[in-house]
């Protein structure tokens, strides 16, 4: 269980809700089962409500509920369901497979949405089984195939189902992680297997990076979303001895090697923070820079797999969702004072903030679909 430091968070309803959630356990002590179906059919991904439809049908072509992906506090269906299709289009193969559900080519989704059934893939009785998955576009990107190999799944076992496909046997493991709700020992063991397999690679690069800052400033925004103001925060930690890494410029094994060997890690809230909670096995402390006011449920659940200090620092100036304005807040200054850190030149900080503020308002002006959540909490 993580040890939290809430000293550098704003006093508001958001923080109260966060602290309440962080102080309760999300561990689910249950025995997970695998359910086997002979002559079952896997339906490919189809766009629909939430993530969409797809999953496993039994030999009578009835949908199997256990193949749905659950998520959220109410454990509602996030993915899964049958739909009309031509049964004559089913291609039957004499293969046995484990069904692991939908996969998206996104690092955060891979970690929290797409690995919950992987725990069963390396059980001795299933070693020869294909690992069947659904994907909304194309196939798994190479970097994520490398991650599945770190999970112990050889690439030749991976099987993308893009058309209705029948198998002689389909095994459906229960979810070991319910996104934003609960985790089990199987999920923890799954992520620990990544670190065990990582050590076998004997990665020699970046073995001496004790203090790292994980940045999103080189991330090429593919849509309207993003952060403004992170560069000044990055600079602050750089002048205090932190080495900056850019995840999108590293192979996943190298990235995880760096994270797993660092002693102190700074990162903004989001995908990078998810990876840190899961793989920072040698860190004494983790600093999460809050770029948004709303509580991120994923992170609180994942933090329970990290047993050292986690310091949250509120760095947000905006109350929009999807695009964020960050910077040197009073919380950051208080942290610097308490830790006796070097400060940035105030003129540099002021000019940087003005530049970020202009960019932020231009983006908000041109993209009115960005959600404004200012009225959702009492400041």
Q: Locate the domains of the chain by residue range.
A: 3-22+205-371, 34-183
pLDDT of residue 69: 95
Q: Mind spelling out the 3-state secondary structure of 269-335?
A: CCHHHHHHHHHCCCCCEEEEEECCCCCCHHHHHHHCCCCCEEEEEECECCCEECEEEECCCHHHHHH
Q: What is the pLDDT of residues 358-377, one digit of tens each?
A: 988 888 877 766 666 554 43
pLDDT of residue 318: 87
Q: What is the pLDDT of residues 314-337, one digit of tens each?
A: 999 988 877 899 999 999 999 999
Q: How far apart are CA 177 and CA 198, in angstroms?
A: 22
Q: How far apart are CA 141 and CA 152, in angstroms?
A: 17
pLDDT of residue 376: 41
pLDDT of residue 205: 63
Per-position pLDDT tens, the chain of length 379: 779 999 999 999 999 999 999 999 999 999 999 999 999 999 999 998 889 999 999 999 999 999 999 987 777 888 999 999 999 999 999 999 999 999 999 999 999 999 999 999 999 999 999 999 999 888 899 999 999 999 999 999 999 999 999 999 999 999 999 998 999 999 999 999 999 998 887 665 666 799 999 999 988 764 556 789 999 999 999 999 999 999 999 999 999 999 999 999 999 999 999 999 999 999 999 999 999 988 888 899 999 999 889 999 999 998 887 789 999 999 999 999 999 999 999 999 999 999 999 988 888 877 766 666 554 433 3
**End-to-end Cα separation, the chain, in angstroms:** 29
Tokens of 265: 């890690």
pLDDT of residue 294: 85
Tell me how crowded residue 38 is: count the other CB atoms within 10 A of its CB.
11
pLDDT of residue 206: 61
Tokens of 173: 């493991």
In order of 220, 360, 376, the CA distances from 320 in angstroms are 20, 10, 11
pLDDT of residue 378: 34
pLDDT of residue 362: 85
pLDDT of residue 368: 64
The SS3 assignment for 200 reads helix
């Amino acid at each position: 269980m993580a040890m939290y430091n809430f000293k550098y968070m704003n006093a508001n309803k958001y923080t109260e809700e966060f602290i309440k959630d962080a102080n309760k356990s999300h561990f689910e002590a249950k025995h997970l089962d695998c359910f086997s179906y002979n002559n079952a059919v896997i339906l490919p991904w189809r766009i629909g409500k939430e993530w969409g439809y797809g999953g496993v049908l039994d030999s009578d072509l009835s949908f199997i509920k256990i193949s749905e992906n659950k998520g959220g506090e109410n454990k509602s269906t996030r993915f899964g369901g049958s739909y009309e299709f031509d049964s004559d289009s089913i291609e039957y193969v004499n293969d046995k497979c484990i069904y692991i559900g939908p996969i998206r080519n996104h690092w955060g989704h891979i970690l929290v949405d797409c690995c919950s059934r992987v725990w069963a893939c390396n059980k001795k009785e299933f070693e020869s089984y294909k690992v069947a998955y659904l994907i909304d576009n194309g196939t798994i990107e190479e970097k994520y195939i490398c991650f599945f190999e770190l999970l112990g799944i050889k690439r030749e076992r991976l099987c993308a189902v893009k058309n209705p496909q029948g198998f002689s046997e389909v095994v459906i493991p229960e979810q070991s992680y319910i996104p934003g709700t609960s985790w089990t020992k199987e999920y923890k063991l799954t992520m620990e297997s990544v670190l065990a397999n990582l050590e076998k690679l004997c990665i020699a690069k970046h073995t001496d990076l004790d203090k790292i800052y994980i940045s999103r400033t080189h991330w090429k925004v593919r849509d309207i979303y993003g952060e403004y103001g992170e560069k000044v925060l990055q600079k602050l930690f750089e002048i205090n001895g932190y080495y900056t890494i850019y995840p999108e410029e590293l192979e996943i094994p190298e990235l995880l090697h760096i994270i797993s060997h660092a002693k102190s890690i700074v990162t903004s809230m989001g995908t990078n923070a998810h990876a840190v909670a899961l793989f920072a096995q040698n860190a004494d402390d983790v600093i999460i820079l809050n770029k948004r006011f709303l509580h991120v449920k994923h992170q609180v659940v994942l933090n329970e797999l990290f047993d050292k200090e986690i310091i949250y620092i509120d760095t947000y100036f905006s109350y929009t969702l999807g695009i964020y304005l960050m910077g040197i807040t009073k919380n950051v200054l208080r942290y610097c004072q308490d830790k006796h850190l070097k400060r940035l030149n105030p003129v540099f900080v002021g000019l940087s903030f003005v530049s970020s503020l202009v960019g932020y308002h231009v983006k908000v002006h041109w993209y009115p679909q960005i959600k404004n959540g200012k009225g959702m909490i009492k400041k």
